Amino acid sequence: MRHRLLTMLAMQDSMNTKVHPQWISQGYEWYRAAWIECGELMDHHGYKWWKKQVPDDEQVKLEIIDIWHFGMSALFAEGKSYDDLADQILSLLDDTPASMAIDMTILEATEQLAQDCLATKGFSVVFFWQLMAAAKLDFDTLYVAYVGKNVLNFFRQDHGYKDGTYIKQWAGKEDNEHLVELTAGLDSHSDSFRDDLYEALSLRYDNTTAAVS
């Protein structure tokens, strides 16, 4: 788990650096992005008792992945290494009784996390883990989904997303569909999982665009 935390922290730092090389010192309000994602999660889950709503479990899980992007970013601080952050996360989880998440609904867990973001202008790893438990999302699933989303973000940037030349749909599918297919065929436990996924995505993209042209 520690190794995977280190991988995700390094990936998040790399992505944020693409936005601003000195992103840690900029004072971005990551907590704000996190609690707004909490609101989007609640929309996908459904909270309106006055109309029929069916929870979209897959979208709920995707929102949790997005929250984790912002949550990890909020944990970074000047002078803190990836090892420091990983140890901090693991220490918080070790000190948290497993019983804390029992009988908590997704909406309750989401509200608890959002409320803490607003009150502290920070991010609670403990409350995030409770949200994962409420949504029945385990750490392995979080890791694989996070790496996939991060790789896709890098891939888009490297292929013209910023200047508007990249097209998300190719070979009759959106890029995130290609991503899901390729992820299923790779070993997520491999140390090279991230690089393997990017390479597989690039190869399929290049072959597809070459065939079209």
In the predicted model, is pLDDT for residue 150 greater than 70?
A: yes
- Do 63 and 44 meet the contact criterion of CB atoms below 8 Å apart? yes
Q: What is the pLDDT of residue 213?
A: 47
pLDDT digits (tens, 9 = 90+) for 7-43: 999 999 998 998 899 999 999 999 999 999 999 999 9
Please give the single-letter amino acid code of residue 23: W
pLDDT digits (tens, 9 = 90+) for 41-56: 999 999 999 999 899 8
In the predicted model, is pLDDT for residue 211 greater than 70?
A: no
User: Residues 124-137: what's their mean pLDDT?
Assistant: 94
The ranges of the chain annotated as CATH 1.10.4010.10 are 2-137
| DSSP character at residue 173 | E
**Over the chain, what is the mean pLDDT?**
90
**Cα–Cα–Cα angle for 192, 37, 177, nearest 5°?**
45
pLDDT digits (tens, 9 = 90+) for 94-112: 877 665 656 789 999 999 9
pLDDT digits (tens, 9 = 90+) for 183-200: 989 998 888 999 999 999
CATH architecture assignment, domain 2-137:
Orthogonal Bundle (1.10)
- Do 155 and 201 meet the contact criterion of CB atoms below 8 Å apart? yes
